[in-house]
Chains A and B, each alone.
Chain A
Amino acid sequence: MDPRLKRILPKVQKPARYTGGEYNQTVKDKDQVELRCALCFPDTYEIGMSNLGMRILYHTINSMPGVWCERCFAPWEDMETELRAAGLPLYALESGDPLKDFDALGFPIGYEMAYTTVLNMLDLAGLPVRSADRPDLLPLVFAGGTSCCNPEPMADFLDLMVIGEGEALDNEVLELLRTAKREGWTKQTYLRAAARIPGVWVPSLYQPEYDEDERFTGLTPLSGAPETVTKRIVEDFENSPFPTKQIVPSTEIVHDRVNLELFRGCIRGCRFCQAGQVYRPVRARSAEKLIQQGIESLQATGYQEITLSSLSSSDYRELGQLCDGLLDYCVPRSIGLALPSLRADNFSMDLMQRVQKVRKSGLTFAPEAGTQRLRDAINKNVREEDLLESCRVAFAGGWNNVKLYFMLGLPTETDEDVVGIAKVAEDVYRLWREHAVNKARGVRITVSTSCFIPKPHTPFQWAPMVTKEEYLRRVKLLRSSIRSRAIVYNWHDAETSEIEGVLSRGDRRVGAVIEAVWRKGGRLEAWSDFFDHARWMAAFEACGVNPDDYTLRPRAAGEPFPWERVNMGVTRRHLWREWELTQEDRLSPDCRAGCVGCGARALLGCCPDHDVEMGGESA
Chain B
Amino acid sequence: MIEAGTKLRLRFAKEGRAVYISHLDLMRTMQRAFLRAGYPLKYSEGFNPHPVISILLPLGVGAASVCELMDFSLTAPLDEAELPERLTAAMPEGVRALEVYPGGRKVKELKWLELEGVFEYDARDPAEMAAGLRDFFARPSIVITKKTKRGTGESDIAPAIRFLSFSPDEKRVLLRGVISAQEPTLNPEHLANALRQLAPELAPDFAEFRRLEVCDAEMKVFR
Contacts and interface: CB of A to CB of B under 8 A. Distances in A.
Interface string B83-107: 0000000111110000000000000
A254 to B, nearest CB: 15
Contact of B36 (A250, A251, A299): A299
Contacts of A23: 29, 32-33, 36, 90-93
A87 to B, nearest CB: 15
Interface residues of A, number: 26
B25 A16 contact: yes
Nearest to B32: A302
Contact of A15 (B61, B205, B208): B61
Interface residues of B, number: 28
B160 to A, nearest CB: 22
Given A21-B17, A21-B94, A6 B36 contact: no
A25 B33 CA distance: 14
Contacts of B90: 23, 302
A1 B17 contact: yes
B56 interface: no
Nearest to B205: A7
A237 B49 CA distance: 38
Contact of A252 (B20, B25, B34): B25
B57 interface: no
A251 B17 contact: no
Contacts of B34: 302
Given A15-B61, A334-B43, A302 B36 contact: yes
Interface string A213-244: 00000000000000000000000000000000
B16 interface: yes
A70 B85 CA distance: 27
A334 B28 contact: no
Interface in A248-278: 248, 250-252
Nearest to B38: A299
Contacts of B20: 9, 15-16, 18-19
Given A23-B91, A303-B32, A250 B206 contact: no
Interface in A391-449: none
Interface string A282-306: 0000000000000000011111100
Most buried by B among A7, A25, A251: A251
Contact of B31 (A1, A16, A302): A302
A23 B28 CA distance: 13
A10 B62 contact: yes
Contacts of A248: 29, 32, 92
A304 B93 CA distance: 21
Contacts of B158: none
A252 B28 contact: yes
A23 B95 CA distance: 10
Interface of B: 16-18, 20-22, 25-26, 28-29, 31-36, 43, 49, 61-62, 90-94, 205-206, 208
Given A23-B90, A302-B35, 4 more contacts: A14-B22, A16-B21, A22-B92, A251-B22
8 contacts: A15-B20, A15-B61, A16-B20, A16-B22, A16-B25, A23-B90, A250-B18, A303-B32
